[in-house]
A and B are shown apart, each in its own frame.
Chain A
């Protein structure tokens, strides 16, 4: 690729993704295989459109960082704390168990113990990107196996730091690392403390201030800035960027902006991860593969089998539900991007030489290529063995937000609805876009999410697909109508109960098929009218009945007028006619009552429709 021609580079990547991914999906292979295949196609061993995959690999590793931020967002600190045992326990079993076995086998095979150790540690790592990517794609994240994969991946992230730091020590030919390990450790601790404190104290008010500016793209920019800044901070002290992003995510998991952050970061994560997989595809060195095909195949199959054996034992011991085990084993048996880093570092430090390094890199990349294929195979042949029990089980737990009611707009209107629901034991998912409002409501102990209800992705996260009722209480008419339209199109089973600001708004809603609406001032105005009649001497019960009848007539008229909303003359005529009808009817009833009073001396302006026999 010519330098400076970033446009043509962009063209190549996007075209490869756009062509290969839908094709792979169409073939039932999943998007990750599509990306990998696209990468091979445009890479040095395919059409040679891109020749420097390493640069892209480095850049796109940021996709993994974003992904871990999102994973963190889903994990509240309390839940992370409850995962400490699987992370340090099972995670260590996987990493060090696999590494020890691999190392032992390699030494037995006659390799130098240093090379064996590096290879074992690198190969024992698993791909966080593919693992979590697949879990997300299949919404397996909340399942036991999903949490186990996450735990192991987190431990690998943590363990990568000392492993990378210690690798150079293996290189006896080289001088040892600088002696100021204590200083860097202190720095690292300082940065982590800064992230924890900052996340707790500073970020929330900062986000509120930014959200107040009401520029959605700046909120998106702020979300990205947050992740980039955390990652950069971690990198300066030599820690894993992904780990830092994960930490930041966890700290924001309880904040009201969680959903907004999620939806803002999601597309970037998706594209960068795609780019990452393309880069992995490109970086497979087919020269090495072709030179020693049998050796590579042996290494790949060997390390996959060893790791699978360890994982199989873990799955039994934990224990994982049987139908979830194949996915758990396949996802963690593969090599991962940390392996690349380990081999590269080791090669630079002179622990292993370049041919060994590229052989190992190729083995890892091939295992990553094979993983999605293995999953497809498992889906086809292995999982059906456990069929029946699996699907229903997974469906139930894979829906984290499943409240029956969503309230969009939590101002004066939505609040009353919400309070009434809470009083009856229903806990709706509440969305609002007014940062001050959210802050105020949170002070009263409400759990309100920041989010724009007009957005499909966000409503999906809020549980629109499984909820029964959406209370559409947004005060902005355009936003309200846009939300109604989006919901009608995408969630036809979700019943909308809407607040209408005025008649025109009601007509808009009616046109979209929303029939359960209330005009927001109608009932309070009618209550005032009742009070006026009472003050003028009407009986209270009669005033109530008249108000209710007025209301019924009024709603009927509104429905009659709706089809003529575009025709101003007809609308006016219908409105006039309706008013006249009611006035005449009431006048007639008053007249009859008055007559009765005159004739009979019946002292009350009585119920106009007659009194029962007695």
Chain B
């Protein structure tokens, strides 16, 4: 197995049309100039074009990672469908959460996302109606339920119209962060929240009224 402590899970259903996520992905794959790369990039749509996720393989890789990066475009205020399937199947009950589900405890989760709408569209006066933060709780709670820290997301709004300078600046921040982990200035201030206990019978199929 390759040696890494940063695992990038990237998903874009039309990677061939992507401007920014594609560049982020390729840039993350390149090792830094001065040392071997500690980053492993997994492009979900290229690994699983038939949506048949190899759960065992994905879990094994997650175990080895310290920082898990989710890099994808925001679509309908959420993640692309294969990414969601990955979360559903790989972050399994009894493995990632629930009784005995401690595999991801103490790891970090970092969201690196783009939105089509510009920043000012995420405002009560504009068509997206909410500040972007309003769409983050599902991510944050997923991390917390698995015992992970949810690091401050790196966002690029208005991705379709971002000019070259803007994209380059974004790319630079992204790479700088990837390769300097875990030495981020704000990291020490972020505390791990212990997930509340998930009862044994929390699974929906054990609910009488599912």
Q: List A residues at the B interface (Cβ < 8 Å).
A: 545, 548-549, 552, 596-597, 599-602, 606, 609-614
Contacts and interface: CB of A to CB of B under 8 A. Distances in A.
B145 interface: yes
B92 A609 contact: yes
Given A609-B89, A613-B198, A600 B208 contact: yes
B207 interface: yes
Contacts of B206: 596, 599-600
B94 interface: yes
B87 A612 contact: yes
Closest 6 CB pairs of A and B: A602-B205, A548-B52, A612-B88, A610-B93, A596-B205, A600-B205
Contacts of B194: none
Contact of B52 (A552, A600, A609, A614): A552
A599 B208 CA distance: 9
Interface string B187-210: 000000000001000111111101
Given A600-B205, A606-B205, A613 B210 contact: no
B50 interface: yes
Contacts of A602: 204-205, 210
Contacts of A600: 205-208, 210
Contacts of A609: 55, 89, 92
Contact of B203 (A545, A552, A597, A611): A611
Nearest to B141: A613
22 contacts: A548-B52, A549-B52, A552-B52, A599-B206, A600-B205, A600-B207, A600-B208, A601-B208, A602-B204, A602-B205, A606-B205, A609-B89, A609-B92, A610-B92, A610-B93, A610-B203, A611-B205, A612-B87, A612-B88, A613-B97, A613-B202, A614-B204
Contacts of A612: 87-88, 91
A309 to B, nearest CB: 58
Q: Choose among B198, B203, B206, B207 the residue with the greatest number of A CB atoms under 10 Å from its CB.
A: B203
B94 A610 contact: yes
Interface string B86-110: 0111011110011000000000000
A600 B205 CA distance: 6
A610 B52 CA distance: 15
Interface string B36-72: 0000000000000010101100000000000000000
A609 B89 CA distance: 7
A400 to B, nearest CB: 31
Contacts of B203: 610-611
A545 B52 contact: yes
Given A596-B206, A600-B206, A600-B210, A613 B50 contact: no
Contacts of A545: 52
Nearest to B84: A612
Given A610-B93, A611-B93, A613-B93, 16 more contacts: A548-B50, A597-B205, A600-B205, A600-B207, A600-B210, A602-B205, A606-B205, A609-B89, A609-B92, A610-B92, A610-B94, A610-B203, A611-B203, A611-B205, A612-B88, A613-B198
A552 B50 CA distance: 11
Q: Choose among A602, A612, A614 the residue with the greatest number of B CB atoms under 10 Å from its CB.
A: A612
A88 B89 CA distance: 75
A396 to B, nearest CB: 27
A78 B129 CA distance: 66
A305 B97 CA distance: 92
Contacts of A597: 205
Nearest to B90: A609
Contacts of A611: 93, 203-205
A597 to B, nearest CB: 8
Nearest to A596: B205
Contacts of A614: 204
A549 B208 CA distance: 31
A56 to B, nearest CB: 63
A543 to B, nearest CB: 13
Interface in B151-210: 198, 202-208, 210
A286 B109 CA distance: 92
A601 B210 CA distance: 9
A597 B52 CA distance: 25
B84 to A, nearest CB: 9
A600 B206 CA distance: 5
A612 B93 CA distance: 7
Contacts of B202: 613
B202 to A, nearest CB: 7
A36 to B, nearest CB: 58
Contact of B145 (A596, A599, A601, A613): A613
A130 to B, nearest CB: 52
Contacts of B98: 613
A609 B85 CA distance: 12
A239 to B, nearest CB: 59
A549 B56 CA distance: 13
A596 B202 CA distance: 13
A7 to B, nearest CB: 65
Contacts of B91: 612
A606 B98 CA distance: 19
A605 to B, nearest CB: 11
A87 B7 CA distance: 68
Nearest to B203: A611
Nearest to B92: A610
B89 to A, nearest CB: 6
Nearest to A597: B205
Contacts of B89: 609
A127 B87 CA distance: 75
A554 to B, nearest CB: 13
Nearest to A595: B205
Interface in B115-138: none
A614 B206 CA distance: 13
A212 B72 CA distance: 58
B61 to A, nearest CB: 17
A76 to B, nearest CB: 37
Nearest to B145: A613
